[in-house]
Amino acid sequence: MVKEVSEEEKRVEEEFEPLIVAFCCNWCSYAGADLAGTSRFEYPTNIRIIRVMCTGRIDPTFVLEALRMGADGVLVAGCHPGDCHYQKGNYIMEKRFSYIKKAVESIGIEPERVRLEWISASEGGKFAALVRELTQQMKQLGPSPFRLMNDPK
Amino acid sequence: MEEEPRIGVFVCHCGVNIGGIVNVPEVTEYAKKLPFVTYAEHNLYTCSEAGLAAIKTAIKEYNLNRVVVASCTPRTHEPLFRGTCKEAGLNPYLFEMANIRDQCSWVHMHEAEKATVKAKDLVRMAVAKAALLEPQTEPEVEVKDVSLVIGAGVAGMTAALSMANQGFKVYLVDRDKEPGGIVRRLYKLYPTLADSSEVIDPLIEVVKSHKNIDLLTSMTLKEVLGYVGNFHVTLTSSGGDKDIDVGTIIVACGALNYRPPKGLYQYGVYDKVITQEELDGVLKRGNVGEPERIVMIQCVGARKGEIRPSELEAFPRSDTAELLRKILKARKEEGWPYCSRICCMNAIKNAILVKERSPKTDVVILFGDLRVYKEYEDFYRMARDLEVRFVRHIEEVPPEITQRSDGKLEVAAYDALSGLEVKFPTDWVVLSTPLRPRRSEVLLARMLKVPISTDGFLMEAHLKLRPVDTNVDGVFLAGTVSGPKDIPESIISGEAAAARASILMGNRKVVTDAITAVVDEGLCIGCGLCEEICPYGAPKIEDRKSKVREILCRGCGSCAAECPRRAITMRHFGEHQVLAQVKALLMPEA
Could you report the per-residue pLDDT of B316-373, keeping only the tens digit for each?
Answer: 444 555 555 555 555 555 678 889 999 999 999 999 999 999 999 999 999 999 999 8
Of A36, A41, A54, the CB nearest to B556: A54
What are the pLDDT digits (tens) for A15-37? 799 999 999 999 889 999 999 99
Least confident of B103-107, B201-205, B337-341, B347-351: B337-341
Residues 6+ apart with CB under 8 A from B225: B231, B232, B233
Of A62, A66, A87, the CB nearest to B451: A87
Look at residue B258 and tell me whether its pLDDT is greater than 80.
yes
Cβ <8 Å between B561 and A56: yes
DSSP tally for chain B: helices H, then strands E: 17, 30
Count CB pairs under 8 A between chains A and B.
Answer: 141
Band the pLDDT of B314: cuts 50, 70, 90: very low
Cβ <8 Å between A56 and B570: no
- B111 contacts in chain A (CB < 8 Å): 45
B311 lies within 8 A of chain A by CB: no
pLDDT of residue B321: 54
Look at residue B425 and tell me whether its pLDDT is greater than 50.
yes
- B118 contacts in chain A (CB < 8 Å): 45, 48
Give the mean pLDDT of B104-126. Answer: 97
What is the Cα–Cα distance from B412 to B85, expressed in whole angstroms?
72
Q: Which of A26, A30, A40, A59 to mutate to test the interface with B (most CBs of B within 10 A)?
A: A59
Instruction: Find the residue in A nearest to B118 (Cα).
Output: A45
Looking at residue B131, its amino acid is A
Cβ <8 Å between A150 and B121: no
What are the pLDDT digits (tens) for B147-161? 999 999 999 999 999
Continuous segment of H or E residues that includes residue A104: helix A89-106
Q: Å from B146 to nearest chain A CA?
A: 27
Give the mean pLDDT of B133-140. Answer: 93
Of B118, B121, B557, the CB nearest to A57: B557
Look at residue B164 and tell me whether its pLDDT is greater than 70.
yes
B102 lies within 8 A of chain A by CB: yes
Look at residue B507 and tell me whether its pLDDT is greater than 70.
yes
What is the Cα–Cα distance from B141 to B508, expressed in whole angstroms?
9
- A40 contacts in chain B (CB < 8 Å): 106-107, 109
Of B74, B533, B578, the CB nearest to A92: B533
C-alpha atoms less than 13 angstroms from C-alpha of A119 in its C-beta half-sphere: 28
Looking at residue B236, its amino acid is T
Band the pLDDT of B309: cuts 50, 70, 90: very low
Q: Which of B:521-550 have CB within 8 Å of A?
A: 533, 535
Look at residue B315 and tell me whether its pLDDT is greater than 70.
no
Q: What is the DSSP string of B129-165?
A: HHHT-------EEE--SEEEEE--SHHHHHHHHHHHH
Q: Å from A71 to nearest chain B CA?
A: 7
Residue B181 contacts residue B156 (beta carbons within 8 Å):
yes
CA end-to-end span of chain A = 34
Look at residue B310 and tell me whether its pLDDT is greater than 50.
no
pLDDT of residue A9: 56
Residues 6+ apart with CB under 8 A from B485: B155, B341, B342, B479, B493
pLDDT of residue B439: 81
Residue A75 contacts residue A47 (beta carbons within 8 Å):
yes
Give the mean pLDDT of A129-147. Answer: 94
pLDDT of residue B305: 60
pLDDT of residue B322: 56
Output the average pLDDT for chain B. Answer: 91
Identify which of A127, A138, A151 has the alpha carbon closest to the alpha carbon of residue A49: A127
Look at residue B91 and tell me whether its pLDDT is greater than 60.
yes
What is the Cα–Cα distance from B222 to B18, expressed in whole angstroms?
56
Cβ <8 Å between B118 and A34: no
pLDDT of residue A70: 94
Band the pLDDT of B34: cuts 50, 70, 90: very high
Continuous segment of H or E residues that includes residue B213: strand B213-216
Residue B413 contacts residue B366 (beta carbons within 8 Å):
yes
Cβ <8 Å between A150 and B587: yes
Cα angle B423, B428, B432; round to 5: 90
Q: What is the pTM of this model?
A: 0.71
Of B317, B471, B582, the CB nearest to A62: B582
B557 lies within 8 A of chain A by CB: yes
